[in-house]
Structure 1
Amino acid sequence: MVAALVGRTALKFAALLLLWSVSPLVRSATNPSDGQALGILYISLNSPPQLTGWSESGGDPCGESWMGISCDGATVTAMISGLGLNGSLGYLLSDLLSLKILDVSNNRLQEPIPYQLPPNLSYMNLAQNNFSGNLPYSISNMVSLVYLNVSHNSLSQSITDFFVGLQNLSELDLSFNNLTGDLPISLSSLSGLSKLCLQQNNLTGPVDLLTNLNLTTLNIANNHFNGWIPKDFSSIANLIIDGNSFSNNLSFPTSHPTPTPTLPRYDHNFSLPAKPLQGSAVQPLYTVYPRNKKKMTMGALIGIVIGSLSGALIAAIAVVFSLHNVCKDSKSQARNSSAPLSIFADKDTNQEMQEQMNKSPTSLKFPPAKKLMVDNMYGNNCLLRRLKFPITATSYSVSSIQAATNSFNQEYLLGEGSLGRVYKAEFSFGKVFAVKKIDNAALSLQEEDNFLEAVANMSRLRHPNITGLVGYSAEFGQRLLVYEYIGNSNLHDLLHTYDDRSKGLNWNARVRVALGTARALEYLHEVCLPPVVHRNLKSANILLDEELNPKLSDCGAPEFAMSGIFTVKSDVYSLGIVMLELLTGRKPWDSCRAISEQSLVRWAIPQLHDIDALSRMVDPSLNGIYPAKSLSRFADIVALCVQPEPEFRPPMSQVVQLLVRLAQRASVIRRTSAEEIGISYRIAEETGSETSS
């Protein structure tokens, strides 16, 4: 009897053990945040039918074996798809915290690479798509990254200087793009880099900093590099440097391997512990073996996992502790200062925002933050003031700037703010810039002392929709800021100056301006660390290039005599005002109108959800040509942004995604008198879907 009891007990124990061992397979409920992120991605990819199993509403990708998805228990760990997809990568990939492998090469994906990338990736392959813009700065936080391939795209501008923290990076491929400028200094810090491919770009300058790397493969062919070929390149086994402008020839033998196409799929020589893809047409994905080719034991795997988690926890605690101390020191400094460093240049702020602050002072205030992350969420600038960043902008002599502006001649004057005037500067080397000449009488002593710190902060802001700071001068008591020159106009003049230029601002262009401005703010709020609050967002600070692409100006410059509490939510409110200007063609404050219509926000808010009233609000210069459904969706976004309570205003990433979806789905319609009975007529010259910036 005892034996039977023991036998039954052993049998039950074995059954329970078996059930526990297979429970990850039985429990199919995927982490909700993973499911939601993939649902948003599916929408951003235009809901392609080839992604079998996927759903716009999210769901259970692990349990339902979605195409191209691999899971470990209830979390998504790998995503691979080369099925000719189009659209974009959406805005919620950063919620995929367990994703280690992202391979979406060989598709037709467009728009800039999103900032919200999975933070814990080890392998990222975005090659052979149509991505534009530049590499997002958020990659700097992906410290586990070993392999990065963004070749065969349409990336432009200089390579973002974000490599300091990527010490695990082994292979980097940026080839076959339109990248320009010199190599970033932080590239020399990649001690673990063995393969670097930069061929077929428009890169310039010397390549000496690459001698610090232990490379086995280097391809920098067909660029515009100059200077001397370092003799240390002789130790690189696979070296291709043809098609540049070097001053010397090779004096050492090199091998010239036959170029091979960029691997469109996952590199099987790259080892990561994971499971095969569920429901993928690409099988097998890779084999789970350590590099000595011996099968990994369960004990070793558990040890690696526990060790990794412990190390990550210790590192996180150390970072939070250090940030807390820095923030604490900064707050102490701020309490002892009567004029803290601020981050915008004109006190001539939007009168609409001033009215909001004066009439509802509590609507822009928040209770004291209990955690550092809350401080960062709302744009606390204590870290920005105390952390030291290198100045990457060029130092110009005062004499060279005087020569470029003809001694700040009135003919070169572009505009004027409370801190000083802005001049067009034509330098002898052929470049044209805009120079802000700061009036020292408008600055406190502390702001003068913090000028170089402000320059350092501004010089690290790099985004296609932000006017870049390219130089500065601090000689002989002068305070000069040199920006890229945008030669068209600003949004305020284009909207409120009725001439031929304003006729080009059709509905598509207005949505593009709103989207580009929102993307600039998304970068400042959610990519920069710590977050940057613009504080002076208005149509006059949105410059437009010849293609009407927006460039947000006055990001990170010193502020003078500005009162009130500003947060990222203040910027969201200001964007809502700019969008109202785009919608109505009216100024934020117009004393020439009837009292009930002088404040744009107060006049517009009650009408935003009334379709008939909304149609009467539209800027008359549009001549009745605007998207039928897009108009009301645009108004809905405005209503979200200008809500009186800051906590209800959406984060800028959500605003960006709403505008992206609006632009993708809208079609242009002429609204006629038949609208009174709810009928709209499609115009013959329909422009189709609006394109995003």
Structure 2
Amino acid sequence: MGECWLNKNGILFVGFCVLGFMVGCNNGDTDPADAAALRDMYSFLNSPQQLTQWSSSGNDPCGQSWKGVYCSGSRVTEIKLPGLSLSGSFGFQLSSLTSLTNLDVSNNNLGGQLPYQLPPNAQRLNFANNNFNQQLPWSISQMTSLKYLNVGHNQFQGLNDMFGQLTNLVTLDLSSNQFSGSLPQSFSMLSNIQTMYLQNNQFSGDINALADLPLQTLNVENNHFTGWIPNSLNNINLQKGGNSWSSGPAPPPPPGTPPAGKYKRNSGSGSSRSDGNGGKKSGISGGGVAGIVISLLLVGSIAAFFILKKKRFQRSRTDVEKLDNQPFAPLAASGFPEMKSVQSAPIIDAKSFDASESINLKPPPIDPHKSFEEELVVKPIVVKKAIAVPTNVNSYSVADLQIATGSFNVDNFLGEGSFGRVYRAQFEDGKVLAIKKLDSSALPHDQSDLFLEMVSNISRLNHPNVTELMGYCAEHGQHLLVYEFQKVGSLYDFLHLSDEYSKPLTWNSRVKIALGTARALEYLHEVCSPSIIHKNIKSANILLDSDLNPHVSDCGLATFLPNAEQILNQNAGLGYSAPEVSMTGQYTLKSDVYSFGVVMLELLSGRKPFDNSRQRSEQSLVRWATPKLHDIDALSKMVDPALKGLYPVKSLSRFADVIALCVQGEPEFRPPMSEVVQALVRLVQRANMSKRTFGGEQRGSQRSDEYDAFENINCV
């Protein structure tokens, strides 16, 4: 690394060694995974100018001194970006920042859901004063090095019971969010917590989970807490106003409850008690031990006698095993399973025990109000039926899907629906699929059994106009669905986002899309047993393949997700909801029919269901269009200008008649989807037979080509 030498005057000269040392210490080669994560973050933050030196193509954040990025060697160790008016959201590659210990993006305008994978070894996370919402990601539960977590002043709603492993956490700030329900019991495992801010939320229940924590500061103001404040919290800096605490003395603890205060483990191997004189009494004498042993043997013999006596009322373990191995409920003849819960209460037969199994002779606690024989009755055992995921659905790991989506890179982001984000995924075999990551607000992280049951049910849906479920991923608390991919995109994009160079949908294609969508709903409503209400019919959920055949997506999600209706009601007001849904929040088969009628109006007019950029009288598509549906002159003026008059007038009129039936205000007057399908089929058949009027004029070869396209619609 250079040479060091003395000249003849005895003066020490430092040669290239100093220069070499400086070069070695300023090596700017950033770890590629860290650089990729920061590029991804930069894209999701909308490439803000205030992040100087940042770049969507930069490979050396450490060497190029990206604003707020601090490194050690080639690894990024800190990201500090507070108060920079940043907007957008995070990327999905933060988990690769394995050397990051401090992430601070407080006091910005960031929003959406936090990514489900955060830097795994972080010690400080500060997301305060932003607009983040939904649930805290489950990955926080695995961040055992975490000492400081601040998510205050956001819009978080869900809080899982995920704090059991965060034993190094010293400060926790959950203040000024929308958290509700009881405090997580895992709070009681925060053995090093000193400061906790829970104020200005909607927590309810008691705060007993905090009783034995080493807290110095606790703020629980302005919640819905009830009950008594534990005595151990009265000696700390406690702010408790704005709750409904119980008054008067606290009730005595239940029998057997340890005394209040900090729990301590005994340090010695034996146990001893102090007597009133400060000395130690010995334990139980040898004679006492012998007496207890004899008593235990006697009680055990009596217990065994009564168990054998009751064998005629008991059920053998073999029967239990048979029930446990019972196959999953078969698919109904109509194409969808009739779900029934299996629950039984067998009693163990004493004969089913192996002779080699040890018997616990410790007598049960004696209740003076029960006979001894009643005490010996074994409690019923509830046998849960295993959820069988069909073999035609593939199971993927999170790693598989990360590779296929480039760690959910923004370049593969397709869109965001009511229940989660969708990404394009290309696998090693060349197959391209769509990955839907369910938001934790739609399905909490601890509901994997419910998720598998939902996958089992949705995988049974089989119709050419229903998007096919290809696989799923249930790992690390994440729930992802893998669907077939339709490269053309959604009907909404085709109608409303196409540029001036895009080829518009012809009239025939619009009728074809309406008919295919109607058939999908007919299948869900009238073929599946029990019927499935989609609840979220809109043009964004109608995907088009290369032949412009429609495929309805999200089928079954709103039926099986526990919070689906609440989420959909929050997104209401976009013009698709039936009047009764807007008033009551209740969905029916007829509310699906109404939403389908709105989609038909989109196809006819090319307008959005609700468009606040238009004048007030034209913002609501249904309200504006309904009076014109039976007036042929007014109807011709509301047709999508992109059609340029290329449509059959009679076909247009019959199409409008179907719309008018579907969007009626009273649900009982709307037709079932089977009648809608028949009406659209007759429309196509009549068009194929007549081939006469086309936009009021004869248009030669253009007319012939347009009508020939109808013959390609499968109407039988």
TM-score tier, shorter chain, comes to 0.3 to 0.5
TM-score (norm: length of structure 1) = 0.44
Bigger radius of gyration among the two: 2
**Which one scores higher on RCO, CA 8 angstroms, separation ≥ 6?**
1
TM-score (norm: length of structure 2) = 0.43
Q: Whose helix proportion is higher, 1 or 2?
A: 1
